[in-house]
């Protein structure tokens, strides 16, 4: 939709994402969640939830930390999740420009762990060990 001629922003999607300070995706459910990945890919830190596949995959790969922020939503009351999101947003807005730049650099570093060069190894391993026969 955001192709540069949408009548709303009139700039391409990745230019629009790149103009943001932070991507915020507090999903209740996402099988994977490409939107936080798109933010990280253009160097924009993102908030994602532990109810998104991507949110569950990020923490072990978020090195240096700070490229992605995980909002806990699984078995958390809505009011508590809202308060936690407010805290994440408030904390981020209080950061200095230098600290925000470091988070942008961490976002770009984190997303590199999700390149096909990295992920393809997992597919090779999975297919090298066939699943047990069904009875």
User: What pLDDT digit, counting tens, does each position of 80-102 carry?
Assistant: 999 999 999 999 999 999 999 99
Radius of gyration for the alpha carbons in the chain, expressed in angstroms and rounded? 17
**What pLDDT, on the 0 to 100 scale, is given for residue 62?**
65
Least confident of 20-29, 36-45, 82-91, 122-131: 122-131
| CA dist., res. 110 & res. 70, Å (int) | 13
With a pLDDT cut of 90, the percent of the chain lying above it is: 63
Alpha helices (H) in the chain, listed in sequence order: 13-18, 34-41, 53-57, 78-93, 97-112, 116-128
Q: In sequence order, what are the residues at sequence separation of 6 or more whose Cβ sits closer than 8 angstroms to the Cβ of residue 109?
A: 63, 64, 67
């Amino acid at each position: 939709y955001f192709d540069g001629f949408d009548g709303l922003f009139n700039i391409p999607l990745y230019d629009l994402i790149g103009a943001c300070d932070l991507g915020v995706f507090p999903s209740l459910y996402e099988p994977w969640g490409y939107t936080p990945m798109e933010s990280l890919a253009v160097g924009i830190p993102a908030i994602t939830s532990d109810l998104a596949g991507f949110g569950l995959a990020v923490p072990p790969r978020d090195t240096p930390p700070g490229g992605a922020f995980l909002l806990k939503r699984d078995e958390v009351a809505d009011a508590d999740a809202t308060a936690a999101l407010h805290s994440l947003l408030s904390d981020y807005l209080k950061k200095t420009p230098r600290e925000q730049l470091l988070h942008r650099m961490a976002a770009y570093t984190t997303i590199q762990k999700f390149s096909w060069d990295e992920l393809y190894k997992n597919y090779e391993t999975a297919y090298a060990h066939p699943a047990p026969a069904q009875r």
